[in-house]
């Protein structure tokens, strides 16, 4: 199927005939896999990623690192350990061209890495990547000593002229539009001559768990990181220069991608088990245990994994999602099926995600008969009886999974371009129909 016909294709979202009862093995975390790849590439010895996510965003990251001279061997481990990637670091090469697709992690985490390359690295990507904020990374790298050519908008496409090393040191960045600006600078920080001290200067910083994930993974790779939480200055992170260790890391399931499956249990009054749910994690998706419980479900961490049970009754919620913005589309879908209104707050920055998620959710839920209004920093959702129709997805994986959740409860919902879920969740339609026992 050509790209265009794949994008315009409509997938009839399965309508649930009863309560779901399933165990769903959710693929690995995008955010952990792409951080692990970057840290392994910058390490001073080979490392292993076990059960890595193989999706568009992580394959783009792996391909970019290969283009820069890093070797990544792929294989399957002994029984039960699944696939692995073995990452063999090397001197970073330019000239090279990196395709970021529409992956925030690739477009933000790799420019600092490529300042260490020995030649120019051109960055390009999907049309939407030209619109997503990158100024924080570009301006900060320039302030730290990098030479970067862009078209003056502080966005893609651009070329980083790697000079083999970067001086580093203190830098200010307004990361209110994306936490990934901070994560990007910290991840490469150990390899800068002076390390890096990142000071966030803007209004509220979103997605704090993702910054904690960056710090946690840096420390596990042997880096010394000072953080605001550890008694440091507010909004300041400091990474000391030093070698990174090669790790042997098993990637956790992607808890944000567990969301549609947990939502299925919630809206059908069923039960879904997600094996390997970590007992301790920095992933924002762990907040679903609390949010979906408040919306009417209950959950328990057992030896089998997370057991999530719905009652069939779904309540509205008033919640600040600034820390867990990527959960918004899935929560909005459930909220549209609830027995009371919801207010989702703290997520203005979602207007600059894969698509303008606040506009897209409003338009698509309302097109099915819903009553959603955009606020300055989120959504107000008043549940109404919904009807079938086409749910457009705007090349946004989380729009596609959100529409699919609505389709469980509303007959006749058709998802446009469900293949867009491959950004982070390979084989989503098969996982979904498997969950439904089809
Ligand atoms: O660092 C990461 O892995 C991510 C950080 C968040 O980005 P923003 O802070 O831009 O929302 C999140 O929404 C994205 O899905 C993944
Ligand atoms: C915002 C997201 O992705 P990205 O890593 O491209 O920013 C997301 O996955 O919800």
Fold matches, 3-28+253-435 and 30-250: yes
Please state whether 275 falls in left (phi above 0), alpha (psi between -120 and 50) or beta: beta
Catalytic site residue from 197, 323, 326, 364: 326
Residue nearest atom 8 of ligand 2, based on CA coordinates: 326
Per the annotation, the verdict on 131 as an active-site residue is: no
Q: Indicate the CATH number for domain 30-250.
A: 3.65.10.10
Q: Which atom, in ligand 2's list, is nearest to the CA of 178?
A: 7
Q: What would the pLDDT profile of 125-167 be if each residue is shown by its tens digit? A: 999 999 999 999 999 999 999 999 999 999 999 999 999 999 9
- State the distance from the centre of ligand 1 to the C-alpha of 389, rounded, in angstroms: 30
Q: What is the mean pLDDT of the chain?
A: 96
Q: Is the pLDDT of residue 79 over 90?
A: no
Diameter of the chain measured on Cα atoms: 61
Q: What would the pLDDT profile of 387-427 be if each residue is shown by its tens digit? A: 999 999 999 999 999 999 999 999 999 999 999 999 999 99
List residues near ligand 2 (CB under 6 A): 103-105, 326, 353-354, 398, 424
What percent of the chain is modeled with pLDDT above 90? 94
Q: Cα–Cα distance between 28 and 26 in angstroms, integer? A: 7
Contact 271, 34 (CB under 8 A): no
Q: Is the pTM of this model over 0.95?
A: yes
Mean pLDDT of 60-89: 94
Contact 22, 273 (CB under 8 A): yes
- Tell me if 199 is assigned to a ligand binding site: no
Query: What are the boundaries of each domain within the chain?
Result: 3-28+253-435, 30-250
Return the bridge partners of 307, or none: 273, 300
What percent of the chain is modeled with pLDDT above 70? 98
Return the bridge partners of 320, or none: 345
- CA–chain centroid gap for 282, Å, is 13
Q: What would the pLDDT profile of 181-204 be if each residue is shown by its tens digit? A: 999 999 999 999 999 999 999 899
pLDDT score, position 1: 39
Give the tokens for residue 277. Answer: 């749910």
Q: Which residue has the tokens 């203005």?
A: 348
- Tell me if 246 is assigned to a ligand binding site: no
Least confident of 40-49, 230-239, 336-345: 230-239
Residue nearest atom 16 of ligand 1, based on CA coordinates: 31
Q: How confident is the model at residue 78 (pLDDT cuts 50, 70, 90)?
A: confident
Instruction: Spell out a b/e string for 271-304, using b for 16 or more CB atoms within 10 Å of the CB, else e.
Output: bbbbeebbeebbbbbbbbbebbeebbbebeeeee
Q: How confident is the model at residue 3 (pLDDT cuts 50, 70, 90)?
A: very low
Q: Which atom, in ligand 2's list, is nearest to the CA of 132?
A: 7
Contact 261, 231 (CB under 8 A): no
pLDDT score, position 230: 78
Hey, which of 178, 284, 285, 401 would you mutate to test ligand 1's pocket, going by the most ligand atoms within 8 Å of its Cβ? 178
Beta-sheet pairing, 120-124 with 96-99: parallel
- Tell me if 423 is assigned to a ligand binding site: yes
Task: Check residues 260 and 8 and name the one with the higher pLDDT.
Answer: 260
Residue nearest atom 4 of ligand 2, based on CA coordinates: 104
Q: How confident is the model at residue 46 (pLDDT cuts 50, 70, 90)?
A: very high
H runs (alpha helix) in 201-356 = 208-220, 259-268, 288-294, 328-335
Q: Cα–Cα distance between 84 and 86 in angstroms, integer? A: 7
Q: Cα–Cα distance between 287 and 207 in angstroms, integer? A: 12
Task: Check residues 312 and 88 and name the one with the higher pLDDT.
Answer: 88
Whole-angstrom CA distances from 290 to 187, 214, 270, 325 are: 30, 23, 18, 15
Q: Is the pLDDT of residue 380 over 90?
A: yes
Q: Among residues 201, 273, 223, 222, which one has the least CA distance to residue 22?
A: 273
Mean pLDDT of 86-103: 98
What is this model's ipTM? Answer: 0.99
Q: Indicate the CATH number for domain 3-28+253-435.
A: 3.65.10.10
Q: Which atom, in ligand 1's list, is nearest to the CA of 256?
A: 15
- Tell me if 207 is assigned to a ligand binding site: yes
Q: How confident is the model at residue 7 (pLDDT cuts 50, 70, 90)?
A: low
* Torsion angle in degrees (nearest 10) through CA of 248, 46, 169, 209: -20
Mean pLDDT of 380-387: 98
Mean pLDDT of 81-90: 94
H runs (alpha helix) in 55-134 = 56-67, 104-114
Q: How confident is the model at residue 77 (pLDDT cuts 50, 70, 90)?
A: confident
């Amino acid at each position: 199927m050509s790209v265009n016909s794949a994008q315009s294709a409509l997938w009839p979202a399965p309508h649930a005939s009863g309560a779901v009862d399933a165990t769903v093995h959710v693929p690995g975390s995008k955010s952990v896999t792409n951080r692990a790849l970057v840290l392994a590439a910058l390490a001073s010895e080979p490392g292993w990623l076990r059960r890595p996510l193989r999706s568009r965003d992580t394959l783009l990251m792996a391909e970019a690192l290969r283009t820069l001279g890093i070797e990544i061997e792929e294989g399957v481990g002994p029984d039960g350990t699944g696939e692995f990637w073995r990452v063999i670091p090397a001197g970073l090469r330019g000239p090279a061209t990196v395709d970021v697709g529409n992956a925030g992690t690739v477009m933000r985490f790799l420019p600092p890495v490529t300042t260490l390359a020995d030649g120019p690295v051109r960055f390009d990507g999907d049309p939407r990547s030209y619109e997503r904020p990158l100024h924080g990374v570009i301006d900060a790298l320039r302030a730290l000593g990098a030479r970067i050519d862009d078209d003056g908008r502080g966005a893609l496409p651009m070329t980083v002229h790697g000079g083999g090393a970067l001086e580093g040191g203190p830098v200010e960045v307004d990361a209110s539009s994306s936490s990934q600006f901070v994560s990007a600078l910290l991840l490469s920080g150990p390899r800068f001559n002076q390390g890096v001290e990142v000071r966030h200067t803007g209004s509220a910083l979103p997605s704090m768990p993702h910054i904690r994930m960056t710090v946690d993974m840096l420390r596990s790779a042997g880096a010394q990181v000072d953080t605001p939480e550890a008694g440091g200055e507010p909004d300041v992170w400091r990474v000391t220069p030093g070698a990174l260790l090669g790790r042997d890391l098993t990637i956790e399931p992607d808890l944000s991608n567990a969301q549609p499956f947990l939502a299925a249990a919630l809206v059908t009054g069923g039960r879904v088990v997600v094996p390997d749910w970590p007992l301790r994690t920095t992933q924002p998706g762990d907040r679903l245990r609390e949010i979906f419980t408040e919306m009417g479900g209950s959950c328990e961490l057992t030896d089998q994994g997370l057991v999530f049970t719905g009652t069939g009754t779904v309540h509205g919620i008033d919640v600040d999602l600034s820390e867990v913005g990527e959960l918004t589309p899935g929560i909005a879908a459930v909220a549209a099926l609830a027995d009371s209104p919801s207010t989702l707050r703290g997520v203005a920055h979602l207007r600059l995600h894969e698509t303008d998620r606040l506009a897209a959710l409003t338009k698509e839920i309302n097109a099915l008969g819903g009553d959603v209004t955009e606020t300055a920093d989120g959504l107000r959702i008043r549940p109404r009886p919904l009807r079938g129709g086409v749910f457009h997805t705007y090349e946004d994986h989380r729009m596609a999974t959100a529409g699919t959740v609505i389709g469980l409860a509303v007959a006749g919902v058709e998802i446009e371009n469900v293949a867009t879920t491959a950004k982070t969740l390979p084989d989503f339609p098969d996982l979904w129909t498997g969950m439904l026992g089809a």
